[in-house]
Amino acid sequence: MGISMSRENTILAVVVIGTLMASIDSTIVLLAFPAMTAALHSTISTIIWVILIYMIVVAVFSTQFGRIGDIFGRGRMFNLGFAIFTISSFLCGIAPTDITLIISRAFQALGGALLASNSSAIIADTFERHKIGKAYGYTGLSWNIGALLGILLGGFITTFIGYRYIFFINVPIGIVALALGLKYITDNKRSADKVDLPGMVTIGVAVALIAYAGINYSSVGVTSLNVALLIIGIAFAIAFVLIEKHVKMPTINFDMFKNKVFRNSLFASLFQGLGFLGVTFLLIMYLQGVRGYSPLDASLVLFPGYVVSGVLSPRMGRYSDRLGARPIATAGIALMVAGVIFYILVLGVSSPIYLIVIGTIITGFGGAMFWPANNSAVMANVSGELRGSASGTLRLFSSLGLIGSFIIAFVAAASAVPRYLAFEIFAGTSKVIGGIGKGFVAGMHFAFIALMAMLIIAGIFSYARGKENRSDGSMQNYKGSIPKQKAGAGKAKKTKKG
């Protein structure tokens, strides 16, 4: 690819910083719910949208921003994401009301979506195919370190400085990262492809309506509103597929799904997200609601899993480069399933806490194996001009898994306690005791079974993806690689100017 080792590593470092920032914000807010609720005179049912709006916005815009990166330049969009994320983090910090905080978080999520949707494509552009697993291992390391830092910094900052600084901390990091990104992550070319506006609008509306309907269901149960939103969202999704079949340069090129490795890796990501993240939500609720732990102490119990996953991710990424994604990622799913079975067998109302620590180590090991291997399988099996679209689609599937897992966790919790209480337990402001606690644990076990089923499906997709051979760094020489953009894209690329 003609990129020097020092420049290659600098680009990876900038992408890792972007991943780190997004990861920190995925956990740092969890520990601030009580402080934000009190300071902004809000309610848990409102302030919970500080997390939910971030999930929805990232899911809605993932595919669009990935495709826009293909057209206008991935580096440009990635750097724009840094700028938006940094500015909106400052706005979150100064937000005077709960509503303005939620709105600012929505803009922060736009920046996060730009970063996430283009980061995987930038790595695939930078590294040879037989090296990208290692690179994704380092992004996995940064994600786990960021989640860990979010826990530690969130508890410390909220307790001793003030919750607003959990947002301000992004500002100096973002400024430095943006300066590095503008210097090192540049685009030599722009595509002459046109923006698929009808496709982008329909997929955005579809994802937004379906995601909101699911979250609304987890909050209040079945209503005519969330049923109607779900039906309308599905109708928009069908319209999107029909539109994309008649567009020369679509938001999602469905030719990508003809490649078995690519297709099955995406579905493995979706079902892994559906199965695994809900386990984490339920453990936090169990530790805070049933065992009476503070949000900081509850999160620290999960500390070993983050450490194991973070330390092992780069090594597991290198193994996936050598052996292909199937054996590494599938073994990782098997470990996650084993961890959930372990929780089902040992967790009760008064089980020793060290058992949860053991479970986090098992699942953390599995995550270290799955994420870098699976992500590299997606990006190693798509041609250059489609990498932004592929990266955005991967982020979409991951985000839908996150939202779905959140819904499963809260519906399970609501089977044992009132829904408002389930949200308060998650936020660390309420507890359950006695018979209610036993009922909560029983509902948690039932949810673990459902989540384990999702993980097993992920394992089936992971194994069914087939074998890879990444020993040849040339994408063109890889049998089964996804064809280039059809119907005019090649002609457009010939006429563009650098």
CA distance 375 to 366: 14
pLDDT tens for 218-264 read: 888 889 999 999 999 999 999 999 998 888 778 888 888 888 999 99
pLDDT tens for 168-200 read: 988 998 999 899 889 888 775 566 667 788 988
Range ranked top by mean pLDDT from 206-210, 254-258, 321-325: 206-210
Specify the range with the lowest mean pLDDT, choosing from 26-40, 172-186, 357-371.
Answer: 26-40
Nearest alpha-carbon partner for 414 in 403, 422, 406, 426:
422
pTM score, two decimals?
Answer: 0.82
Per-residue confidence (pLDDT) for residue 191, from 0 to 100: 60
Per-residue confidence (pLDDT) for residue 328, from 0 to 100: 93
pLDDT tens for 434-460 read: 667 788 888 888 889 999 999 999 999
Instruction: Calculate the average pLDDT of the chain.
Output: 83
What is the share, in percent, of the chain residues with pLDDT greater than 90? Answer: 30
pLDDT level of residue 54 (50, 70, 90 thresholds): confident
Nearest alpha-carbon partner for 393 in 67, 129, 9, 44:
67
Q: Does the pLDDT of residue 355 top 80, yes or no?
A: yes
Specify the range with the lowest mean pLDDT, choosing from 35-39, 108-112, 246-250.
Answer: 246-250
Per-residue confidence (pLDDT) for residue 81, from 0 to 100: 93
CA distance 368 to 306: 9
Per-residue confidence (pLDDT) for residue 140, from 0 to 100: 65
Average pLDDT over residues 106-127: 87
Specify the range with the lowest mean pLDDT, choosing from 176-180, 321-325, 341-345.
Answer: 321-325
Position with higher pLDDT, 144 vs 365 = 365
